[in-house]
Amino acid sequence: MIHALDEAAERLGLYIGQPLANARAMCPDLKVFDADTVADAKTLSDIADWCDRFTPLVALDPPHGLFLDITGCAHLFGGEAALLQALVRALGRQGFAVSAAIAGTSVCARTLTRQATGTIVADGEEARAISRFPVSALGAGEAITTGLRRAGLKTIGDVTARSPSEITARFGARFSTLLAHALGQGDAPINPRKPLPDYIVEKPFAEPIATDTMIAMTLSRLADTLIASMEKQGKGARRLEAAFFRTDGVVRAIMVETGRPVTQSKVIDRLFRERLDALADPLDPGFGFDMVRLSASRTEIVVQEQRDLDAHVHDNDELAALIDRIAARIGGKRVVVHLPEDTHIPECAVLAAPAQHHLAAAMQAEWPARTESEPPLRPLRLFDKPEPIKVPFAAVPDGPPHQFTWRRALHAVVRVEGPERIAMEWWRQDGKQLTRDYFRIEDAEGLRFWIFRDGLYEGEVFDGDGEPASPGWYVHGLFA
Amino acid sequence: MSGARTSALATLRGQIERIETATVVHPHDRVALGHSEADNALKGGLARAAIHEVFCAGSQGTAATGFVMGLAGRVSAQRPLLWVRQDFSEIEAGALSMSGLAELGLDPRRMVMVRAADVESALRTSADALACDALGAVVLELWGETRQFDLVASRKLTLAAQGSGVTGLLLRMAAQPLPSTAETRWMLRAAHSPPGSVWDAWGAPRFDAELLRNRHGPCGRWIMEWNCDECQFSEPSTYSQPVAATPAHRPDSTVLQQRRAG
């Protein structure tokens, strides 16, 4: 089956969807490559990344189209014609066959690319511009295109000549909407790949830059400009993205997040320095970057705090800044604070949440109070997954073991306290979970364990024949 | 030319001297642990703005964790605590449990945990954190012998701690002590509970702490007990529960002191 073909093949009369054997019969020396839709999608998304230099609003139109909303951007590149030319030429140099057009609506522009590449249609001219094209250019789907052709409506002009109600009745409302959009009557919104950042600053270079010092300098200048524009509106950045546009079209985007709004350019500077330093695959300038863009994709209104009287606020600020720096270096999920959870199952009692976002909440959290003058009832170290231990026998069926083997070492029990029975939460779990009896145990060396028997004795655990089996024992934690 | 060289040498000498003298810690920068013999050996308590190392064998990790936790609780004084640990250490020794922390009388709210993937990033993060004076203490937890933690890395941490006044605590599980710039070095083992029958409740956490190295005083080995209610170390109590009846006509504490003296 032919997935895609070039112009020369099309001239020979081959078509998409044709069985390969038929195509080979028509043209024996046909060159065939396996279709790789995943790689195609990747390439399209890379091209979309590159197109970010023209406008932040780039939408994918699979399988091989891109929409660029260039409203208000064209003048930056010397007008619509110059922009179109620059884009087509740059992509052409990379070896892509490009057909591009500019029109007032996305559907109209797409129709134009299929028939008349390089056209620029002014507002209100859409209907006239596309009326002579065949209906297949609309891209309405095989069934509708064939249906229109059978009805004798060969061009878009023919279709528009009929009354819209007839078209809707015959081909459905979706097609008539598509037609209306193509004619410039209303527009379908495009779906940009990335949300529009709140603030963007960028610096293009006539001569590509490649050295680390130049990159750092550019970033810090961009940070100054970004801060200045945010300051006017009293905003601070929570998420920043630096995009590096390489001369060969590769775009590398690097993101940093902060726990509280940033209002100082030197903080931005430092965060990016940490992030760039710690990249697993360092920024590769290749032949240099011809544009660097810094954008604040999430911003917040900055509340000015009284600082002089309260040293505590200052301390918290410094801690938040430190957390931001560490997070920029090793990742936000690796710096955590802890929040208590309302459950008595030991492994679920604590929630580790990213410190950047939950620092304030964690500082105010209410932890269950400990009982005065009691020794610790919960272990200091808890295993994520309880580790099974070998228990030879228990003196009392319900009781704790005399000795057990954990991690290939035998531990003789000299002190026992328990059991503390923890029943599972039947109202939350789907499957049957076993009741656990916990014992606090001290061995001959003075090590203190928190072990449990998974399941009640002769009550919950059964073997394959439905006979009561002996429950498993686990080490769940270690006491100091 | 030679004059410039001499002056450069003089500057370097001055710098070295400054670095060396900076290690002299003033007595008010020490925090008493609560265990009188240990405090005497430490000249009043654990020095702030320095690095302290706590070593232990692989199986004794939790005792050492508890001891480090106690030291951190003593020195941090209501300030946040940054705990940097390696991923591997959590698999081997178990994750630090916040409920267990609360049971020791410490505050989980002030704990920020950094989960570093490897030793390099853990070291780098701790050096960064030690330079931040908003913190009370920084704990670096490493499992096993590491090549990366050498004298240079140790010096880096010490300098950062001296600059900011933050105390650095190193928890080295399953590792052998190597030369370092630490102020003190401890070897930790778990200690037995005081004698009693099998079904007696054990008491407070007890540590067999050996002070292997002390820059400004003698070494020693003590049994130390962590008092969860008062959040400080103390001499070991002989029994897990008070055995003498509380006399009604005088306060309980005098009885305790007499018993210790006798």
For the question of an ipTM over 0.85, the answer is no
**B261: how many CB neighbours lie within 10 A of its CB?**
6
pLDDT band at B70 (very low <50, low <70, confident <90, very high): very high
Closest listed residue to residue A305, CA positions, set A250, A338, A342, A260? A260
CB contact under 8 A, B95 and A318: no
Is B37 a member of any domain? yes
Give B246 or A170, the one with higher predicted confidence: A170
pLDDT for the residue A339: 92
B254 vs B257: CA distance, rounded Å? 5
- Asked if residue A237 lies in contact with residue A268, where contact means CB atoms within 8 angstroms, the answer is yes
Is B257 a member of any domain? no
Q: Which residue has the tokens 């949440």?
A: A353
Q: How far is CA A204 from the centre of its chain?
A: 27
pLDDT digits (tens, 9 = 90+) for A272-285: 988 888 887 888 88
* Alpha helix segments (H runs only) across A353-426: 355-364
A394 vs A404: CA distance, rounded Å? 10
pLDDT for the residue A314: 67
Six-digit token pair at A30?
Answer: 């046909």
Chain B: nearest CA to A250, how far in angstroms? 29
pLDDT higher than 70, residue A312: no
pLDDT digits (tens, 9 = 90+) for B123-180: 999 999 999 888 999 999 999 888 888 899 999 999 999 989 999 999 999 999 988 9
User: For the domain that residue B141 is a member of, what is the CATH number?
Assistant: 3.40.50.300
Six-digit token pair at A373?
Answer: 């003058």
Report the residue of chain A nearest B81, measured CA to CA. A319
Q: Which residue has the tokens 């208590």?
A: A340
pLDDT higher than 90, residue A97: no
What DSSP element (H or E) covers A116? none
Is B251 a member of any domain? no
pLDDT for the residue A400: 86
Count of CB contacts below 8 A, A vs B? Answer: 197
CB contact under 8 A, B199 and A416: yes
Rounded to 5 degrees, what are φ and ψ at B198? -55, -40
- β pairing state of B232-234 and B220-227: antiparallel
pLDDT digits (tens, 9 = 90+) for A322-361: 999 999 889 889 999 999 988 888 888 899 999 988 988 9
B190 vs B188: CA distance, rounded Å? 7
Give A425's contacts (C-beta < 8 A, 6+ positions apart).
A343, A345, A433
pLDDT for the residue B167: 93
Chain A: nearest CA to B122, how far in angstroms? 10
Closest listed residue to residue B86, CA positions, set B53, B116, B121, B64? B116
Range in A134-143, A216-225, B197-206, B212-221 with the lowest mean pLDDT: B197-206
B104 vs B236: CA distance, rounded Å? 16
| Strand spans (E) along A34-125 | 58-61, 65-68
* % of chain B at pLDDT higher than 90: 46
CB contact under 8 A, B189 and A373: no
Would you put residue A458 in left (φ > 0), alpha (ψ -120 to 50) or beta? left
How much is the average pLDDT of A381-410?
Answer: 86
Q: Which residues of chain A have a CB within 8 Å of the CB of B132?
A: 318-319, 321-322
pLDDT for the residue A261: 87
pLDDT digits (tens, 9 = 90+) for A153-197: 888 888 888 888 888 998 888 888 888 888 888 888 888 888 888
Is B7 a member of any domain? no
Closest listed residue to residue A236, CA positions, set A190, A196, A267, A203? A267
The shortest CB-CB distance from A334 to any of B104, B114, B191 is to B114
Closest listed residue to residue A476, CA positions, set A349, A352, A347? A347
Range in A156-160, A468-472, B236-240, B258-262 with the lowest mean pLDDT: B258-262
The shortest CB-CB distance from A415 to any of B67, B69, B202 is to B202
Closest listed residue to residue A50, CA positions, set A244, A212, A201? A244
Using the 8-state DSSP alphabet, how is residue A462 labeled? B
Is B131 a member of any domain? yes
A162 vs A470: CA distance, rounded Å? 82
The shortest CB-CB distance from A480 to any of B196, B199, B205 is to B205
Q: Which of A380, A396, A416 to mutate to test the interface with B (most CBs of B within 10 A)?
A: A380
Range in A69-73, A430-434, B36-40 with the lowest mean pLDDT: A430-434
pLDDT higher than 60, residue B254: no
Six-digit token pair at A331?
Answer: 């990742």
CB contact under 8 A, B112 and A379: no
A480 vs A14: CA distance, rounded Å? 77
Is B209 a member of any domain? yes
SS3 assignment, position A381: strand
pLDDT digits (tens, 9 = 90+) for A413-472: 888 887 889 888 878 766 677 888 999 999 988 899 999 988 887 667 777 777 777 788
**B46-B51-B52-B56 Cα dihedral, nearest 10 degrees:** 170
Q: What average pLDDT is seen over chain A?
A: 87
Cis, peptide link before residue A28, omega less than 30° from 0 = no
- Asked if residue A118 lies in contact with residue A98, where contact means CB atoms within 8 angstroms, the answer is no
pLDDT higher than 60, residue B262: no
* % of chain A at pLDDT higher than 70: 96
pLDDT higher than 90, residue A373: no
pLDDT digits (tens, 9 = 90+) for B106-115: 999 999 999 9
CB contact under 8 A, B61 and A326: no
pLDDT for the residue B27: 47
B172 vs B176: CA distance, rounded Å? 8
pLDDT for the residue A218: 92
Give A152's contacts (C-beta < 8 A, 6+ positions apart).
A158
Compute the half-sphere exposure of residue B45: CA atoms within 13 Å on the CB side of its CA: 19
Q: What average pLDDT is seen over chain B?
A: 85
B130 at A interface, C-beta within 8 A: no
pLDDT digits (tens, 9 = 90+) for B199-220: 777 788 999 999 999 988 899 9
Domain count, chain B: 1
Give A408's contacts (C-beta < 8 A, 6+ positions apart).
none
B59 at A interface, C-beta within 8 A: yes
**A402: how many CB neighbours lie within 10 A of its CB?**
15
Six-digit token pair at A392?
Answer: 């030879």
Q: Which residue has the tokens 């090793």?
A: A330
- β pairing state of B167-173 and B51-56: parallel
C-alpha distances (whole Å) from A412 to each of A367, A397, A409, A418, B94 are 35, 18, 10, 17, 21
pLDDT for the residue B223: 92
Using the 8-state DSSP alphabet, how is residue B236 labeled? P
Helices then strands (H, E): number in chain B?
8, 12
C-alpha distances (whole Å) from A34 to each of A3, A15, A138 are 9, 16, 28
The shortest CB-CB distance from A376 to any of B103, B129, B190 is to B103
**B25: how many CB neighbours lie within 10 A of its CB?**
18
Six-digit token pair at A464?
Answer: 């394959």
A437 vs B135: CA distance, rounded Å? 40
Is B157 a member of any domain? yes
pLDDT higher than 80, residue A269: yes
A471 vs B16: CA distance, rounded Å? 65
Give B152's contacts (C-beta < 8 A, 6+ positions apart).
none
- Asked if residue B100 lies in contact with residue A381, where contact means CB atoms within 8 angstroms, the answer is yes
Domain of B78 in residue numbering reads as 21-243
Chain A: nearest CA to B184, how far in angstroms? 21
Is B59 a member of any domain? yes
B203 at A interface, C-beta within 8 A: yes
pLDDT band at B81 (very low <50, low <70, confident <90, very high): very high
